[in-house]
Amino acid sequence: QGLSVFEVDGACSKEYCQRLCLLAKLFLHHKTLYHQVEPFRFYVLTKLGDGGGHHLVGYFSKEKESPKSYNVSCILVLPSYMRQGYGRLLIDLSYHLSQREGKVGSPERPLSDLGLVTYRAYWKSIILSHLGVLKASASGVPGGSLPVSINIKALSQQTSILMADLISTMQWLGILKYWRGNHIVLLNSTHSTKQPGNAARKATRTTTCIDEKALQWSPPEADEK
């Protein structure tokens, strides 16, 4: 689809990264940092235009060293490219980078209202995808409620999503229950990722996701060593 992602070091391309931050400030009212870009790396998503050249779609920034394990500091998709799946694509990339680093990550707080909606949708899809595999292999009455056993710590390590984010999303979905002294996940037909109401909306959105095999990236710290 003519999409590319470029990694830009704030210390090496200071002026360019400052301009990215100033651009984000036009659309993100809580955006305050735009001078000190040296501690950050920027991952810039572009799309080839009809006449050639890379057109900016959006970007996210990430601290080189985050004491709180944030894997996204600021994320922006330009208004002309919103609601086309590019925000999810950038989020998916941030977690793939965390996986390559062998870390568990989370976006920097506080999240904007739109940011929370986008992240919850992403976390929900990841959770339901993993639970769908478990549900398919379990026995039970078709269409009925079925307890599904899941190791949240293992899921966190596998997806690089912070355990607190997984738990809060499960609670938001209403699938995390306390039963007979244990926490269980109660999944039923209403929690399917193939809900009829979503089909039409999804058909109009970009379904691009990160291909792990095609991702040519290694942690910068590893390259320096």
Confidence of residue 208 (pLDDT cuts 50, 70, 90): low
By C-alpha distance, which of 116, 76, 85 is closest to 202? 85
- Give the integer Cα–Cα distance in Å for 123 and 169: 7
At 192 the pLDDT is: 59
pTM for the predicted model, two decimal places = 0.84
Considering 90-104, 146-160, 173-187, 196-210, the range whose residues carry the highest mean pLDDT is 90-104
CA distance from start to end of the chain: 34
Residue from 38, 108, 212, 221 carrying the catalytic annotation:
108
Q: Read off the pLDDT of each residue in 166-181 and give the average, rounded to a whole number.
A: 87
Confidence of residue 190 (pLDDT cuts 50, 70, 90): low
Query: Which residue shows structure tokens 């006449």?
Result: 51
Annotated catalytic residue 108: yes
- Give the integer Cα–Cα distance in Å for 76 and 44: 10
Question: Would you say residue 195 has pLDDT above 50?
Answer: no
Considering 128-132, 153-157, 161-165, the range whose residues carry the highest mean pLDDT is 161-165
